Amino acid sequence: MKKIHKNILIGTSIFILIMVALLTSATFYLQWYALQAEGNPRGKDISGSFEYIKAHYPHIQTWLDSITYNHALKDTFILAKDNTKLHAYFLQADSCTTQSAVIIHGYTDNAIRMMHIGYMYHHDLQYNILLPDLRYSGLSEGTHIQMGWNDRKDVLQWIEVAHELFATDTTRCNMVVHGISMGGATTMCVSGEKTPDYVRCFINDCGYTSVWDEYAGELKEQFGLPTFPLLHLASWLTDIRFGWNFNEASPLQQIKQCERPMLFIHGANDTFVPTWMSDTLYQHKNGIKEIWHAPGGNHADSYYKYPKEYTEIVKRFLEKYNIMKSP
């Protein structure tokens, strides 16, 4: 009898150890998969990103070739407060203006993959533009993708850099921050912080309510798994390793503190960042707000499907809140 009990105890102990090992491995894999993305090869592929943007948005190719050939598209680097080296591209408007846009890219992307929005602002709206590479992307350093949460601190620095680049001795900038997907989430996280008064408004294109909500949806969609226990463990591990967790990374909570106008854009058929997220965000945003559901749009393709309509909606929003003077 004692031998049977002993065997049961040994078997139970082995089972528990195996489960702990599996959960630990799965937790590390989930965090690596979500935040380190195999070294983020797409986000680091600069030449491939140029080819991608030209192929998907052929109407901007002449403009893109021109600004690169004439060396008008310039690089700038800064050191973040933790001494991480960060990079951005910037481009002066053809006309003498201080109207400026800081444009934020999405998950596993880089600044070059936002050049279609850069074209809209620079070519169509006559804006100065600054496009940062978020950490672990493009030419910026970093240990992991920050999902827009700690990126908000870096973007606050880039806002100051943009003002230094584009303001004049007599005229301050009128500035908009515009992000897509994770860039939209970053934009909303920035909007909840204290920003300079020259940041007049924000545009969020298909950003998520929180990192927790986004990962919970993808965990179910891609792997058919519930949030417990993996998401809880991955969030806890992220807090230990990187100093932030999935619950606190909440654009929804940030926009409740935003007092500036915000335009929400979302594809009506988006399932990657479900459209309901923008509807929820819109409902919780106080003050001035507008929303546009791109008909039939999927994730982050509203401009791709409706470039003229997208540009006109953004233009009207900016004009309405004195961000851009009518031509």
Q: Is the residue at 88 inside a domain?
A: yes
Measured N-to-C along each axis, helices 182-191 and 151-166 cross at an angle, to the nearest 10 degrees, of: 80
Which residue in this structure is represented by tokens 């080296």? 85
Q: Is the residue at 34 inside a domain?
A: no
Quick check: 282 and 275 in contact, CB under 8 A? no
Tokens describing residue 132 = 């940062």
Q: Could you tell me the CA-to-CA distances from 7 to 13, 21, 63 in Å, in that order? A: 10, 21, 74
Mean pLDDT by 10 residues, the chain (327 residues): 64 66 81 87 95 97 96 98 97 93 98 98 97 98 97 98 94 96 98 97 98 96 90 94 97 97 98 98 97 98 98 97 61
- What pLDDT, on a 0 to 100 scale, did the predictor assign at position 4? 67
**Rounded to the nearest 5°, which phi and psi values hold at 199?**
-80, 105
Look up the CATH number of the domain holding residue 302.
Answer: 3.40.50.1820
- What pLDDT, on a 0 to 100 scale, did the predictor assign at position 72? 97
Q: Which domain holds residue 71?
A: 40-210+249-320
What is the reported pTM?
0.94
Q: Is the residue at 231 inside a domain?
A: no
**Element containing residue 202 per DSSP (H, E):** strand 199-205
Q: Is the residue at 13 inside a domain?
A: no
Q: Is the residue at 237 inside a domain?
A: no
**Rounded to the nearest 5°, which phi and psi values hold at 107?**
-60, 130
User: What residues contact 173, with CB distance under 8 A and at least 6 apart?
Assistant: 98, 99, 100, 128, 162, 163, 166, 167, 198
Q: Is the residue at 217 inside a domain?
A: no
Which residue in this structure is represented by tokens 């949460």? 149
Length in residues, the chain: 327
- What pLDDT, on a 0 to 100 scale, did the predictor assign at position 25? 84
Give the span between the Cα atoms of 206 and 10, in whole angstroms.
Answer: 52
Count of domains forming the chain:
1
Q: Where are the beta strands (DSSP E) in 50-173?
A: 74-79, 85-91, 99-104, 128-133
Quick check: 110 and 136 in contact, CB under 8 A? no
